[in-house]
Amino acid sequence: MKKWLYRDLPSWLLIVPSLLFFVVFHWQPIVSGFVLSFFETKGYNAVRFNGLQNYIDVISNSVFQQTLVNTFMYVIWSLIIGFLVPIVVAIMINEMANLQAFFKFSVYFPGMVPGVAAALLWTFMFDPGPGGLLNMLLAKLGLPMSQWLQNSHLTIPLIIVTMTWRSFGGTVILYLASLQGVNHELYEAAAIDGAGIRKRVRHITIPQISPIIGILLILQIIGVFQVLYEPLTMTEGGPNNSSMSLMLTSYHYAFRYFEAGRSLAVGVITFLILAVLTAVYFRIDKRANAD
């Protein structure tokens, strides 16, 4: 044991900086946040251990249930609206003979717009009066105007549309990279066997990129589950809490009411839900691969 440690000492020394980095900037905040969530806090100082009281307060809050449901609604809508789009677009761009670079740039372009600016931009488009951009369009087409974000049934799907618009480009690039790794001989062989485009996509493309589809699915769920600044800037959780998300609740606890303990309790709850979801996914994935 000792001999082994001695032999490896130089390599240990080499990883010390990155280990320190992880401990100080990644793990320490997570651990101390976890610890603080069990304390009554004054600012960020732990005043008194109060067990699960923060969790009880947070969960028993009358808006919490709706917030939890909303957060899942964000995820579900993001899967409905945003999950297939990048796959389809990536395959389309991959099949193009010309202008690939132009389309790659075009789909990625919205991702370069700063997030809050994009949210404000969409708020202008969604303005519910006759002066709103989308309402002007509807009026030109002779359709009735919409209340957009003020219609509580539409709030979450519309926020998801803006999020998809902004972020699907990055996902497309990842899919494209993976698509370009698919062996061309497979396509040629399939073409010789008389497979059309649909069959080629179904039997070659999708299976070949399925690992990355799985990973991006998990990343998307994790990302959308923590949705914060879109509702913060566009609706502030309204109307009537219909777009309130867990992270926005956490934000309000911390910065509006100065209750760090409760804010962190919400954070830990979010973390636990995501951990469970991820574990479930890997279990399913493993079983599917084993079959």
Partner 1 sequence: MRNGKLLALIAALALAVTACSSGGNNGEAGGSQEPSATASGSAPPASESSAPPSSSETKEFVFNNGDWPKPQDKRLAQFEQWKAKFESENPGVTMKTENFSYDTNTFLPKAESGQLPNLFGTWFTEPQKIINAGYAADITEYMAKYGFEQALNPAMLDLVKKDGKIYGIPSNGYYMGIWYNVNLFKQAGLLDEKGIPKYPRTYEELAETAKIIKDKTGKAGFFFPTKNNQGGWEFMSIAWSYGAEFEKLENGKWKAVFNSPEAVEALQYLKDLKWKYDVLTDNVLVEVNDMFRMFGTDQVAMAFGGTDWMNTPINDYKMSKDNLSVSAVPAGPKGRVALSGGNLFMFSANSTPEQIDAGFKWLKIKGVSPDVNPESLKGLEETLASDQKLNRIVGPHGMQAWVNKERVDAENAIREKYKNVDLALWDDYMKNEGVTIRPEEPVNAQELYKTLDAVVQAVLTDKNADPKALLDKAAADFQRDYLDKAKG
Q: Which is nearer to partner 1, 53 or 208 (CB)?
A: 53
Q: Which of 32, 183, 278, 289 binds partner 1 (CB under 8 A)?
A: 32
203 binds partner 1 (CB under 8 A): no
50 binds partner 1 (CB under 8 A): no
Provide, rounded to whole angstroms, the least separation between the CB of residue 272 and partner 1.
19
Binding span for partner 1 by CB under 8 A among 29-37, 72-80, 159-167, 181-189: 29-37
241 binds partner 1 (CB under 8 A): yes
Given the structure tokens 């609604």, which residue do they identify? 73
CB neighbours of residue 210 within 10 Å: 14
Q: Which of 14, 42, 100, 137 binds partner 1 (CB under 8 A)?
A: 42
Q: How far is CA 139 from CA 135, 153, 161, in A?
A: 6, 21, 21
Give the number of residues in contact with partner 1, rule: CB under 8 A: 52
254 binds partner 1 (CB under 8 A): yes
CB-based contacts of 64-73 (< 8 A; 24+ apart in sequence): 64/249, 66/241, 66/242, 66/244, 67/241, 67/244, 67/245, 67/246, 67/248, 67/249, 68/246, 70/156, 70/241, 70/242, 70/243, 70/244, 70/245, 71/225, 71/227, 71/245, 71/246, 71/270, 73/156
Q: Which of 111, 157, 170, 238 binds partner 1 (CB under 8 A)?
A: 238
46 binds partner 1 (CB under 8 A): yes
Provide, rounded to whole angstroms, the least separation between the CB of residue 225 and partner 1.
22
